[in-house]
Amino acid sequence: MEKKQGISKEEMRQLVESHSWIKSPFAYTKLGANLSLVQQQSLLMVSDHLQTYIKDFYNLKLDKSKKRPKSLFTEHLLKNGIPPFRIYLADLGVQAGNYRDVRKAINEMAVMVEHPVLDDDGIPTGETAFNPVFEEFRVKETGDYYHYERENEEGLMEMAESVRHYGYIDVQINPKVAEWAFDMSAGYVNHLKLIARYSTKRPTPRLYLMLMRAIGQGKKRVRYTLQELKEYLGIVPYVNEKGETVTPYPKFAHFRIKVLDAVRDDLDRMAKLNQTDIRFEYELIYPGSRKRGEPEYIEFKIERTQLGDAYNVIVNHQPSEIRQQPRQQELFMEEYREKFKQCMDEMAGKVKDDSIKAKLQMMQFEHFDTTKKVLYLQLPDSGYYQWIESDNVIRFVWSHLSKHFGKNIQLQYRLLKSSPKP
């Protein structure tokens, strides 16, 4: 059986079939900023219900329409109403004991869409309005009563009665704004159905969807301005309960740590569990010689994970990209070598002792495995290995290296004049 990077084609198939992928209108993925993970997952489950409509959109050639927006739904449905449906909380991964908190979170959701105001003849007036995407989006419960025995205060068994709750969300899409909320003019994003359920960081699903759109357009490198990125992620100024305007992450350094690095690390964690089909690295692009403050662009370098590669082979019938990755890594190795040089310069700038500076300069870059996140370094001898691995030195070195190569990196050494690392 053909092997691709240690996994057979049959194993690839089993991996792909253990997950579900869905298509979401790109316009719809931009709605519901600042939602919790369970709230985001509930919106993605709406997309799951819309898969038949997306198929019909293309089968009925609605994508050929010159009208803007390109409504996912037919005129008949918009006029007569889109059938309601249910999303079961169990499908969101919610345990019965958490229904109360989830019910509160879902019932407090207010997903709005901005759309043009039309006059009585259906002509835009030039004004815009915000209206709710759903006429109904509330949690309801059914209860099954059952009996069981329990021990009373006297130590005797007695019958007790209890109820097991089964929760679901009643969903009714607002037909008056559905063509804007589910506009297909910008196409759709093909993505993992349970991406928000697998995530641990709130921005992860939205940045994932943004990068998955780029993958769907055949792009493995994509640039966004900081403003574009913040607007899609919903990280924009807002007015709090006191009437004060609050700007999230006013300093780019905070945005980088709390969003970019946090999401990258979250996807790296998920990649090890086969819970995401992509991961990324990013680079800050500054104008001219400036290297600090807000960048002009943030460039993402997107990679398929083992799960994503399996999907590409089994579903898209494309050659394995992971098998070709070592060749691709060599193209970027000079970039990683430059990162290492920058890191060493930073460390040298923080050390006053010239002898320690000289020792640090003896450590050389050899290779960076982006798949396994292993940084390979050359050391002059075993004595140097003992010095670099001492508590204070390794803590100092690792903190700087992880800043440039990611917090999940592992260090491996090759000794040039002595025996291999013990």
Structural domains of the chain ordered from first start: 1-19+194-323 (1.10.10.10), 24-186 (no CATH), 333-415 (3.30.300.180)
Residue 64 pLDDT exceeds 80: yes
CB 298 within 8 A of CB 260: yes
- Structure confidence by residue, pLDDT tens digits, 361-387: 888 888 888 777 888 888 888 778 888
Percentage of the chain lying above the pLDDT 70 cut: 88
Give ∠ CA 321-193-15 in degrees, rounded to 5.
45
C-alpha R_g of the chain: 26
The DSSP output letter for 74 is -
Collapsed DSSP state (helix, strand, coil) of residue 173? strand
Residue 232 pLDDT exceeds 80: yes
Predicted pLDDT of residue 234:
86
The structure tokens listed for 14 are 């089993």
Predicted pLDDT of residue 38:
93
Q: Between 283 and 388, name the one with better pLDDT.
A: 283
Q: Between 118 and 348, name the one with better pLDDT.
A: 348
CB 30 within 8 A of CB 232: yes
The structure tokens listed for 420 are 């291999």
Q: Looking at residues 299-327, what average pLDDT do you find?
A: 85
Cα dihedral sign, 82-86-91-95: positive
Q: Which of 235, 339, 253 is nearest to 293 (CA)?
A: 253
Predicted pLDDT of residue 326:
46
Q: Count of CB atoms within 10 A of residue 83's CB?
A: 10
The DSSP output letter for 182 is T
The structure tokens listed for 306 are 């083992």
Q: What are phi and psi of 143, to 5 degrees?
A: -130, 135
- Its pTM stands at 0.70
Predicted pLDDT of residue 30:
92
- Structure confidence by residue, pLDDT tens digits, 266-286: 999 999 999 999 999 999 999
CB under 8 Å to 340, separation ≥6 — which residues? 365, 401, 404
Predicted pLDDT of residue 303:
95
Q: Between 292 and 303, name the one with better pLDDT.
A: 303
Residue 31 pLDDT exceeds 80: yes
Chain-wide mean pLDDT for the chain? 85
